[in-house]
Amino acid sequence: MAASISVTKTPFGVALKAVGGLRSQLADPEDVLKRIGMAVLKQAQLAFVEQRLGATTWKRRYPNQKPPLLNIAGALSDFNQGRKEPIPNQYVGRPAGRQTSLLYNSLYPKNSKAMAIQGGTTVEVGSTLPYAGLIQYGGISRQPVSDGAKKKMAAWMKKLGGARRKAASYNPSTRTWGEKGSAPKKKRKKAASGSAGGSKVKSGKAGTPKKAKQKTGGGGGAYKQPKNSLQGGALKKFTKASAALARAQKMGYLFNRSVLKTKVVPRPFLGITPVTLREIKIIVEKGLQNGNS
């Protein structure tokens, strides 16, 4: 005999009414409810591992962003926490929903805060973490862009720019990169004769191309490899350095922001999959058998 399962969305997570009128026939309704709750929580943790809930596959981080990928919100969090550069995990699209393991750990079946019995017929499971619902249902997250984070972002980009200049030299006349030292030295303008203090000359770092305007938001344009005449190991080193700089520059628009708003796509981890439903039915049937023995 199988029991019908009703699932209700709650602020805490999901509530499952699985025993209903069968309560009087069960030897221990609370034990059955706890077992059902544990089955759902195990499935919730599995969703983080498989990056899907049943047939619903999670989207990767920044699904519309072109490579090289950067988890902008995660990188900003790292800078706000005082890191000098983002952790390597921010450069990949998966695993999503696991910036830390706090949410995953909050769903352990034996965690008393992850499960509650309501009215003797309902078990409620979920996470008490404030951002759990944001992951489950999607929404808008907000992060401050602190002055400290901006300084660290600037230092990070400067470091990556320096690494690229060490890998090759830029020739502004041909607009190409070549072997280190191959670009002509930039001539400085001489002060006009007879002037009091001489003329001021605007100059940047020699051998550095002008930066293109950065697009705002998480999408960004496709990364285009700069023209170059490099080959072999030099080309490989330069390509790597250029991609790293292009990735970092995706955060450039944050220098003019005080708050980062990110649209979080839904990544449901709580719910009833066909596999979990079969397990719940088995749990209830065993409870009925024990109650009638």
pLDDT by residue for the chain (293 residues), tens only, comes to 344 455 565 655 555 555 555 566 666 788 888 999 999 999 999 999 999 999 999 999 999 999 999 999 999 999 999 999 999 999 999 999 988 899 999 999 988 899 988 877 788 899 999 999 999 999 999 999 999 999 999 999 999 999 998 888 887 777 787 777 665 566 666 655 544 444 443 444 545 555 544 444 455 555 566 677 778 888 888 889 999 999 999 999 999 999 999 999 999 999 989 999 899 889 888 888 776 55
Give bridge partners of residue 13 from the DSSP assignment. 126
* Residue at 203 is within a domain: no
Q: Are residues 227 and 138 in the same domain?
A: no
**For residue 137, is it within any domain?**
yes
Whether 205 maps to a domain, the answer reads no
Same structural domain, 151 and 165: yes
Same domain, 10 and 29: yes
Compute the distance between CA of residue 197 and CA of residue 233 in angstroms, rounded to an integer.
47
Q: Determine the pLDDT at residue 289.
A: 77
Per the document, the length of the chain is 293
The pLDDT of residue 176 is 81
Stated pTM of the model: 0.74
Same domain flag for 136 and 231: no
- Assess whether 130 and 31 both reside in one domain: yes
Longest dimension (CA), the chain: 111
Place of tokens 């997570």: 13
Residue 275 lies in a domain: yes
The whole-number pLDDT of residue 175 equals 77
**45 found inside a domain:** yes
Both 126 and 11 in one domain: the answer is yes
**Could you tell me the CA-to-CA distances from 266 to 69, 192, 219, 222 in Å, in that order?**
20, 64, 18, 25
Domain containing residue 111:
6-59+101-144+266-292
118 and 45 assigned to the same domain: yes
Domain total of the chain? 2
CA 276 to chain centre: 28
Same domain? For 23 and 164 the reply is no
Q: Does residue 134 share a domain with residue 226? A: no
Determine the pLDDT at residue 215: 47
Are residue 110 and residue 177 in the same domain, yes or no? Answer: no
The angle subtended at Cα 163 by Cα 161 and Cα 167, nearest 5°, is: 115
- Asked if 137 and 279 sit in the same domain, the reply is yes
Do 82 and 216 belong together in one domain? yes
